[in-house]
Amino acid sequence: MALLERSEWYDIARRTEWTPGYVSDDELYPEGHSGDYDIPGEAWSTYDEPYKISYREYVDIQRQKDAGAYSVKAALERMDLRSKVDPGWISTLKLHYGAVSVVEYNAGLMESRFVRWARSPGMRNMGTFGMLDEIRHAQLQLFFPHEYVPTDRQFDWAHSGMKSNNWGIIAGRHFFDDMMMTRDAVSTSILLNFAFETGFTNLQFIGLSSDAANAGDFSFSKLIQSIQSDEARHAQIGTPMLAMMIENGEKERAQRLVDVAFWRSWKLFTILTGIPMDYYIPLDKREGSFKEFMQEWIVTQFVNSLEDLGLAKPWYWDIFLADIDEHHHGQQLGTWSWRPTLWFSPAAGVGPDERDWLEEKYPGWNDTFGKCWDAIIENLKRGDIGRTVPGTLPIICNMSNIPIRRTTRWSTTGGSTTSARSPIAGSSSRTRSATPPTKRSLIACSPARSSPPTSAVCCSTWASACSATAVATPTTTSGCPPTSRVPTRRRRTDRWQHSHSR
């Protein structure tokens, strides 16, 4: 018997749902779980998921994906990759697995909440696939690093990391708790599915796959692209939701959700992706700079999607663009300095050739961040290791939960300008030191335009690490670029010019 094409039965099957008779609508979809947005009941039936798939199709392609990823791993594990590739790449793997693997199970829980609490049957249907996707991601990313555990226990952090109170892990856990575990279904679909999954995960799961392939780690390259192929589908859960919110007068709240998720994602990915791409990965294996991948995936692709749907760039856009040039360089100084606190061995990545590359990709690097590294290198050459390790813990932002650092740009703009530019006022003015996030901080986490932080807070931790270790004490202030400098389009490498029109 011939099968009907999916399009011939999908809409009927998707719209099939019960009409509740024993409980009220409010009991079935309580606000806390389903959202308190002002969207009328009949509007929910208009939710039309754009990336349609049947369960039969889903099982077929997921089997193909798993067969591909596990086969590549099985074929290549005899390569003994760990002993052959650059240690910087191994650190990239450890950072990724420690920060990502178990979180995927949480993402499965998030999707399961769509299955139960989403008011639209189409969203519940896609949530079911998304839930299965995320369980697959967790299992893959626990299994792939396991082969390394017998010879390198740092890989055990793939499983144990998320249960620790390491400051870096807390930053990741706080982000995911806030973005995907503690909000209603509607908000979560915008925060996580739309802003995070159609935007930032592309950096780590596709951009980094190019570097992985260049480094010879085809298992990891295949793994993360396989994972992202699921994300490309279930990330579309948020797109029709966003359109519904705009159509029903909730545009302002939708924009705010995007603004919050974008800023939080950006800060997290400066460490997760920015540092490995520009410092850990061997120079000759780099496909492009972090900034170039940001330009491709976020500044262009994501913003195109955002504006196409009728929303605007986040209000702090200029600050964000400036941050692309600077923020992760400061985080690299900090994470390397606090290397005894990490579950991976961070590469400094600032040899002469690497510095030339950094200067080419980020003009002004040598005169700013490079001077901090000069001081560290001098201390190391003199055998004064103690002066390269800070004696205190990093000061942590109460919202992003990553160490507070100053950008060179901010440091030269003076007090008033510095304050006016800060996007995360309420949080930056409060700091913590390795204490778990409070419930309040989980909720009060959006970028706010008032109550700017003091410059003293902005100029604290990473810059202190630099000056504390310096013999000649070159501060970032003395070497920062002029305030009038704006982010400029960088000259690309040949690989990045390798496009052609046909």
Partner 1 sequence: MSVGSVGPVIQSGEVARAVVAAVEGDNAGRAVNVVDRGSYVRIEVEGECVITRASVERELGRPFKLHELEVNMPSFAGRIDTSTEMIRFYRGERHD
Within 10 angstroms of residue 50's Cβ, the number of other Cβ atoms is 12
CB 132 within 8 A of CB 21: no
The binder of partner 1 chosen from 43, 181, 213, 442 (CB under 8 A): 213
H/E segment holding residue 308: helix 303-308
Contact flag: residue 378 with partner 1 (CB under 8 A): no
Question: Is 500 one of the binding residues for partner 1 (CB under 8 A)?
Answer: yes
Strand runs (DSSP E) across 69-171, as ranges?
A: none
DSSP-based three-state secondary structure for 186: helix
Q: What whole-number distance in Å separates Cα of residue 29 and Cα of residue 26?
A: 5
**Binding to partner 1 (CB under 8 A): which residues in 229-248?**
229, 231-233, 236, 239
Report the nearest approach of partner 1 to the CB of residue 202 (Å).
5
Find all residues with CB under 8 Å of 476, minimum gap 6, and list them: 330, 368, 369, 371, 372, 406, 408, 411, 463, 466
Closest distance between partner 1 and the C-beta of residue 487, in Å?
17
Does 225 engage in binding with partner 1 (CB under 8 A)?
yes
How far is 395 from 135, CA to CA, in rounded Å?
A: 34
Return the number of the residue (101 or 225) whose C-beta is nearest partner 1: 225
Is 193 a residue that touches partner 1 (CB under 8 A)? no
Q: Which two structure tokens, joined as six digits, stand for 280?
A: 């850990």
Shortest Cβ distance from residue 349 to partner 1 (Å)?
Answer: 20
Distance CA 122, CA 465 (A): 51
Residue type, 173: R
* 495 interacts with partner 1 by CB under 8 A: yes
Task: Work out whether 87 is an interface residue with partner 1 (CB under 8 A).
Answer: no
In this structure, what token pair is assigned to residue 51?
Answer: 């990336």
Q: Are 400 and 264 in contact (CB under 8 A)?
A: yes
Q: Per rule CB under 8 A, is residue 283 in the interface with partner 1? A: no
Binding partner 1 by CB under 8 A: which of 92, 125, 166, 228?
Answer: 228
Q: Of 284, 296, 289, 357, whose CA–CA distance to 328 is shortest? A: 289
Instruction: Give the number of other Cβ atoms within 10 Å of residue 52's Cβ.
Output: 17
* Contact range with partner 1 by CB under 8 A, out of 246-254, 264-272, 461-469, 492-500: 492-500
Structure tokens at 311: 């929303």
What the block records as the tokens of 46 is 């208009």
What are the b/e assignments for 65-87, b being 16+ CB within 10 Å?
A: beeebbebbeebeeeebbeebbe
Computed from CA positions of residues 146, 152, 155, 161, in that sequence, does the dihedral angle turn out positive or negative? positive
Residue 493 in the binding site for partner 1 (CB under 8 A): no
In degrees and rounded to multiples of 5, residue 177 shows phi and psi of -60, -40
Least separation in angstroms between CB 473 and partner 1: 42
Please say which residue, 110 or 223, places its beta carbon nearer to partner 1.
223
Chain positions 29 to 68 lying near partner 1, rule: CB under 8 A, are 50-53, 57, 60-61, 64-65, 68
501 is a contact residue toward partner 1 (CB under 8 A): yes
Select from 81-89, 302-310, 313-321, 455-463 the region that touches partner 1 (CB under 8 A): 302-310
From 1-9, 76-84, 269-277, 382-390, give the range in contact with partner 1 by CB under 8 A. 1-9
Please choose, out of 110-118, 207-215, 267-275, 331-339, the segment that lies near partner 1 by the rule CB under 8 A.
207-215
Tokens encoding 53:
């798939």
| Interaction pattern, residues 401-440, with partner 1; x per rule: CB under 8 A | ----------------------------------------
Tokens of 256: 């705010």
Smallest gap from residue 148 Cβ to partner 1 (A): 21
Nearer to partner 1 by C-beta: 224 or 396? Answer: 224
Q: How far is the CB of 497 from partner 1 (least distance, A)?
A: 10
Tell me, by CB under 8 A, how many residues bind partner 1: 46
Site for partner 1 in 433-472 (CB under 8 A): none
The binding site for partner 1 (CB under 8 A) comprises 5-7, 50-53, 57, 60-61, 64-65, 68, 202, 205-207, 209-210, 212-214, 221, 225-226, 228-229, 231-233, 236, 239, 287-288, 296, 300-301, 304-305, 308, 495, 498-502
